[in-house]
A and B are shown apart, each in its own frame.
Chain A
Amino acid sequence: MRRWIIGCVVVVTMVLVLSALAGAQKKVSILWMEYDGLTPDYALNLEKAFEEANPGVDLEIISTPWNLGHDRLISLLAGKEPPDLAVIGTRWLLELLDMDVVEPIEKWVSKDLLNNIDPALMEGKVKGVLYGLPVAAGTRLMYYRSDIIDKAPETFEEMLTIAQKINKPEEKFYAVGMAGKKYVELTEHAYYLFGNGGYYFEMLPDGSYGKCRVNDEAGVGALTFMNDLVNKYKVTQPGVTAYTRDEVQDLFVAGNLGIFLSGGFTAALLEQRGVTFKWDVAPMPHFEGKPQSTLIVTDSIVLFKTSDAKEEAGKFLDFFYSDPWRIQFDKMVGFPPVTKSLANDPFFQKPVYKVMIEQIPNAKGWPLIPEWPECNDIIWDNIVATFLGEKDPKTAMDDAAREIDALRGM
């Protein structure tokens, strides 16, 4: 009997000690976006390796599709249950700063890490304070079927001429892919708008954003051209308003498209899927007489003020930005490296990375305004109305500009 009692006491004590040890572990959670090409194994291995290297830390990687990332983060913030870290589109940063939830990140990561990141990519720096480290940054470019198209078009006018030649809808082969269903951002429209010398807002001398200018000549011209591709020349896949960017990408991967405008992740995906057709990349086309320009998108990792494991979160960032993990990540997501130590790696000397890097000087980013998600939707809705023939491009862009200015109190 006595032995039993002693046995029970030992077991209970061990359970209590183990629970206390488990409780002593600091938990770090990160809202992790599922980039195209990034396998779930990567996150699992990263989690395991980090925990092995840091036995006192319990890392939880919460994976979420990019398309749902913003809403999920907002739900967590509104529910007062934010993660410690989150991957965000850098254009959401002002919205988060407006909510006063983001912690300056500089003091939580090592100097080595900060020195290893190209300062030009530090888009997460607002008024001199660094709030986010760049996770991925890349310009958008043109993918084309090099087995069908001899020379990549330099202008959108050339692209249209080629498109009219190669379009074979009866064989389910469409010349140009076009996404008309809302996705994370208005990327499709930005390519044509920036290639026509346009932008979303007037830039004021102090660097702030003025009135919406999507209804100027460049904006209306860009939408008119997009609408012509869809409805006049019919060189896009039919029913563009049913396709998100991912679904258009699937069409290209399946061999049903001749030209597709996208980011570096498409190259990674094409390689992973081992497509049998020949493809190549080229700089984003522009309109005749207008300078070449494309969209540059950066994503960042931010730390939240409410985190009670900031130090451990910083340790995780140091770990994640170390070469062995970053090179795997960069290869999978298809963006050029954000760390200087990987810039000269032979893998990143491929044409797709060269094109992305060459385009940087003339590239434009998303507007950094807190109301951008709603502005984005307003412009989307008006583009869709144009594709559906409910509005002409001028009226659509006038309506969008009016509504956006009213929303921003201008």
Chain B
Amino acid sequence: MQKGKFWKTESGLAFFFLLPACVFLLLFMFYPIVYVILMSFFKVNKLGDLVSFSGLANFRFMFDRPEFWQIIVRSCVWTASAVAVKTGIGLVIALLLNVDFRGRKVARSLVIIPWASSVPISAMIWQWTYNNDFGLLNHTLRTLRIFGEPPIWLAEPRPAFFANLWVDIWCGIPFMALVFLAGLQAIPQELYEAAEVDGATPFAKFRFVTLPLLSSVLTVATLLSILWTFNDFNVIYVLTGGGPGTSTDILITYIYKYAFQYLRFGPAAAMAVITFVILLTVSILYARSYFKGGGVY
């Protein structure tokens, strides 16, 4: 190829158009990631500047703290439970919305509402809902006499954890439902007709037609949900701030505390790197299983 001709070819043009996006990615994605990795191996001052190389000191500092391990376990339990419930409920809603019934369009629009509203605002509304004295939830529970005395949701570790978990689930269900619905609508109707001819029961159709053909969508949706749920800062920050004590802290809220409340950017960066490694491992495992299965149908 003649010198300078490359940029006149179609590939050259494509690279040319990609250039701004690449610069943007380098500046706003790779630079912060590399800087955080560097911070985790350095002593960092209170303004976030690197002072001196400290090896693994920041990691050792975190590993020596018993609550760090509790928070790692809690982050995993939080993510696994939230994603499992969101997937389950999202799938059920998607199956229901895939059935042709009157008012389906309205139902679909209603399902989107929690997703369309801002997460901090939703969390604030739930905070009022959970309020023991003036909140709608405990008032309803008392009126219906479901509980003798309902729990004060945000006052004790376990109820507070479940209260946070539910808000995260509530905010995340619409995404799962819509993605699954899109997946369901891509399944050819002929396959169900063939299954019916073979005498398949509704459960058998779900088990042997729907699930296998939805698996790639399930994989992608749950992977995204894992990444978002593991990093869900807003709900916990607004509802409990990680409390009572540190009982609802997950890694992301703990990182925030260390960085912006205690100004310990080194240990915070070490935790951010640990989070990155955990999520990268999960993503790689998911990607492997996804491509092994043949990717998108």
Contacts and interface: CB of A to CB of B under 8 A. Distances in A.
B74 interface: no
B261 A388 contact: no
B132 A384 contact: no
B132 A242 contact: yes
A384 B242 CA distance: 12
Contact of A373 (B155, B156, B259, B262): B262
B47 A78 contact: yes
Contacts of A256: 133
B154 interface: yes
Contacts, number: 79
Interface in B136-158: 152-157
Contact of B132 (A180, A238, A387): A238
B48 interface: yes
Contacts of A390: 245
Contacts of A99: 45-47, 263
A36 interface: no
A74 B263 contact: yes
B265 A78 contact: yes
A181 B132 CA distance: 14
Contacts of B183: none
Given A95-B263, A181-B243, A373-B261, A240 B47 contact: no
A98 B47 CA distance: 10
Interface in B216-252: 240-241, 243-246
A273 to B, nearest CB: 16
Given A101-B47, A388-B244, A239 B132 contact: yes
B46 A239 contact: no
A181 B152 contact: no
B257 interface: yes
A242 B261 contact: no
A77 interface: yes
B15 interface: no
B120 to A, nearest CB: 12
* Residue among A75, A98, A240, A381 having the largest count of chain B Cβ atoms under 10 Å: A381
B260 interface: yes
Interface string A209-253: 000000000000000000000000000011111100000000100
Given A182-B243, A381-B245, A385-B245, A241 B261 contact: no
Given A182-B243, A251-B133, A71 B260 contact: yes
Interface string A371-397: 001100100110011011010000000
Contact of A377 (B47, B244, B261): B261
A387 B160 CA distance: 15
A241 B262 contact: no
Interface in A349-408: 373-374, 377, 380-381, 384-385, 387-388, 390
Contacts of A101: 47
A48 interface: no
B48 A239 contact: no
A241 B260 contact: no
B260 A240 contact: no
B241 A181 contact: yes
A374 B48 CA distance: 17
A340 interface: no
A374 B133 contact: no
A27 interface: no
B261 A70 contact: yes
B261 A71 contact: yes
A290 interface: no
Interface in A115-162: none
A323 B66 CA distance: 54
Given A181-B241, A182-B243, A388-B245, A239 B152 contact: yes
A172 interface: yes
Nearest to B133: A172
A374 B51 CA distance: 21
Contacts of A172: 133
A42 to B, nearest CB: 24
Contacts of B47: 77-78, 80, 99, 101
Interface string B67-102: 000000000000000000000000000000000000
A238 B149 CA distance: 11
12 contacts: A77-B47, A78-B47, A78-B259, A78-B263, A99-B46, A181-B240, A182-B241, A237-B133, A239-B152, A239-B154, A241-B154, A384-B244
Interface of A: 70-71, 74-75, 77-78, 80, 95, 98-99, 101, 172, 180-182, 237-242, 251, 256, 373-374, 377, 380-381, 384-385, 387-388, 390
Given A71-B260, A181-B244, 13 more contacts: A78-B260, A98-B46, A182-B241, A182-B243, A239-B132, A241-B244, A242-B152, A242-B153, A242-B155, A374-B261, A384-B244, A387-B244, A390-B245
**Nearest 8 A-B pairs (CB), nearest first?**
A239-B152, A239-B155, A242-B155, A241-B244, A242-B154, A384-B245, A374-B262, A381-B245
